Amino acid sequence: MMPLSVEELTRTSDSIAIGEVIKVGKILSKETPVRTVTVRVEQYLKNDLGLSTLNITVLGGSLSNMTVWAEDQPSFEAGERTLLFLSKRADAFYVNGLFQGKYRLENGQAINQDSSRNTSERELLLKIRSTLSGIEVERSIPVLAAIGAVAAIIAVILIARHASLPRPLKEACRPPI
C-alpha cells in the first residue's frame, strides 16, 4: 500500500465527513465478503453530499462462524466518532486510502490504525482546511489571470488615449510631482 499524507487524502477524496458510526454490518455472503458501515453525518468538510447518513462499503467482516480479514481495511466500532476521507465508485462509498483515510476522533485526538499517523483533532482539521483552501486558490488562478489580462488591456487603452490627447490635456492629466 502506498502511504498517503493528509494533504493527498484531502485532494484525492470525493468527500470528507465527520460522523458517528451507528451500525457495523455483517458480510453479505461467503461469495461477497463485504460489509456495510452506517455513519450518521455530523458535518461535511469537503463536497457536502446532502446525506444525513452514509453507507460505507468495507471488505471483510463476520458471517455466522466465519470471519474474513482483509489487510489494510479500516476497522469500525458502533458508537465511535470518525473523520472519513471518502471515495465514490459506482453507487458505493469506500474509505479513500484504506485505513489511512479513517480517523477515530476521541477527547480532542485523531487516532488512526497506524499510530504514527495519530495527531490532535485540531491539527488534522487544520491540515484538511489548509489543503482545501489551496485547492480553491488553484481553481481561481485562471479567473485571476483573466482579470489581470483585462486590467492590462484597459491600461493600454488608457495610455493610448492619453498619448493622443492634446498637450494641454496631457499636462492636466499628469499626476502632481
Q: How deeply is 163 buried, as exposed, middle or buried, from its count of CB atoms within 10 A (0-12, 13-18, 19+)?
A: exposed
Task: Please name the residue that has the C-alpha cell 481553481.
Answer: 139
Identify the domain containing residue 154 by its residue range: 136-173
Q: Are 55 and 96 members of one domain? A: yes
Q: How far apart are CA 83 and CA 72, in angstroms?
A: 17
51-82 pLDDT per residue, tens: 999 999 998 777 777 777 777 889 999 999 99
Whether residue 1 is contained in a domain is answered as: no
pLDDT interval class at 140 (50, 70, 90): very low
- Does the predicted model carry a pTM greater than 0.85? no
Q: Are 51 and 65 members of one domain? A: yes
Q: Are 75 and 145 members of one domain? A: no
Q: How deeply is 68 buried, as exposed, middle or buried, from its count of CB atoms within 10 A (0-12, 13-18, 19+)?
A: middle
